[in-house]
Structure 1
Amino acid sequence: MNERKSPVPERDDNYTHNILRSNERSLDRRGFMKTMVGAAGLFAVSTLPWGTIAAKKLLDGDTNAWPRQKIAEAASLKAGDAREFAYPNEYDSALLVCLREGEYKAYQNACTHLKCPVFWSKEEHELICPCHHGKFDVQTGNPLAGPPRRPLPEIELTVENGLIYAIGVKPYEA
């Protein structure tokens, strides 16, 4: 018979006056904020390993070595000839162009606008994207016409013992 007297009269004891009832509100504003701060902290801590990896790549540069791949024999290409190949893997199509004897340029041949294939036009001496009439300069890979705004990614080449090798992809410079 040890009844506790509520300061709120019985007739007014409804949900607006339930503060004194035990376990009626298990999550109040303070508890909710603690939960949200804890969740944000957990999220921040769980992303630290990925942030560390990204920061290391930005600071040290990309340490992954590009594969060295034989593309063609230099003697098999005449000035104005082009040859398709896959680089750096079998899913990335690329295009090698012989500008003059001993001078070669290679680019990934996916247009920087919507990834349509890029073709070599020997007559116009340009790389052309037929999807939206994009044109690229063969010397630099820079767009000349159409909707593309970024240059084609250039593949680094080396010629050794009469063989042309792809040795890397130049990083994009804005």
Structure 2
Amino acid sequence: MADRNNKVPIKDDNYTNNIHKNNERTLDRRGFMKTLVGSAGVFAIASLPWGAIAAKELMGLADKEYPHQKIANVKDVAVGDSVEFHFPSEHDSAVLIRLEENKYVAYQNACTHLQCPVYWVKEDQEMVCPCHHGIFDANTGAPTAGPPRRPLPEIVVEIHDGSIYAVRVKRYEA
């Protein structure tokens, strides 16, 4: 049966006549969403072991003791002076400050704002980040001025046989 232009009409309309051709993939919206959700589920399940390992490692950081590292001899650090050292690894810069005769504090000296180095200013008795004028309290490591909002990570120090040793890093707790 022919139409006005003497053409034989196609059995299907022009929008769906190519859906069921041979070797054509059949994936509708529902099938696509099932594939997407299934792939996300497989990815989530595959990443669980790594997440568990990371969580276990992060939970144990506060209690993790490193091999005790000698920083300096007590007689070599005068009250008000500081000593730079690396702890817990050679890539982690730190500073030890002798505040009083028997009071020593140590902090990782990377600013908690943008990781710029922090310096001990003996005259002002404060730790200063020169990048954005951040100032930290030497007694607590807490920020007192500038953009930093978190305290510097404290390094626990111990004194044995006239030497000062770095023992572990106290992690910041929100």
Fold match (TM-score > 0.5):
yes
| Shift, 1:18, TM fit | 4.9
Map of 1:80 onto structure 2: 80
SS in 2 for 1:40: helix
Alignment length (residue pairs): 165
How far apart, CA to CA, are the structure 1 residues paired with 2:21 and 2:94?
Answer: 73
Map of 2:33 onto structure 1: 33
| Shift, 1:32, TM fit | 1.8
How far apart, CA to CA, are the structure 1 residues paired with 2:101 and 2:132?
Answer: 32
| Shift, 1:72, TM fit | 0.3
Map of 2:96 onto structure 1: 96
How far apart, CA to CA, are the structure 1 residues paired with 2:159 and 2:90?
Answer: 21
- After superposition, the Cα gap between the structure-2 partners of 1:144 and 1:23, relative to the gap in structure 1 and judged at 3 Å, is same
Listed one character per residue, the Cα deviations across residues 43-83 of structure 1 (whole Å, up to 9, x for unaligned) are: 0121111122234346x533643231000001111111111
> Structure 1 stretches (4+) deviating beyond 6 angstroms?
none
Map of 1:167 onto structure 2: 167
Q: Is the 8 A contact 2:111 2:117 kept in 1?
A: yes
How far apart, CA to CA, are the structure 2 residues paired with 1:64 and 1:126?
Answer: 28
Listed one character per residue, the Cα deviations across residues 127-158 of structure 1 (whole Å, up to 9, x for unaligned) are: 11122221111100011111111111110100
Q: Gaps (5+ residues) in structure 1?
A: 1-8
- After superposition, the Cα gap between the structure-2 partners of 1:91 and 1:57, relative to the gap in structure 1 and judged at 3 Å, is closer
| Shift, 1:119, TM fit | 1.1
- Indicate the RMSD between aligned Cα atoms, in angstroms: 2.1
How far apart, CA to CA, are the structure 2 residues paired with 1:144 and 1:152?
Answer: 12
- After superposition, the Cα gap between the structure-2 partners of 1:81 and 1:55, relative to the gap in structure 1 and judged at 3 Å, is closer
Map of 1:50 onto structure 2: 50
Identity of aligned residues (%): 60
- After superposition, the Cα gap between the structure-2 partners of 1:142 and 1:51, relative to the gap in structure 1 and judged at 3 Å, is same
- After superposition, the Cα gap between the structure-2 partners of 1:21 and 1:121, relative to the gap in structure 1 and judged at 3 Å, is closer
1:126 aligns with 2:126: yes
Instruction: Out of 61-70 and 163-172, give the one that drifted further.
Output: 61-70
Q: Is the 8 A contact 1:74 1:102 kept in 2?
A: no
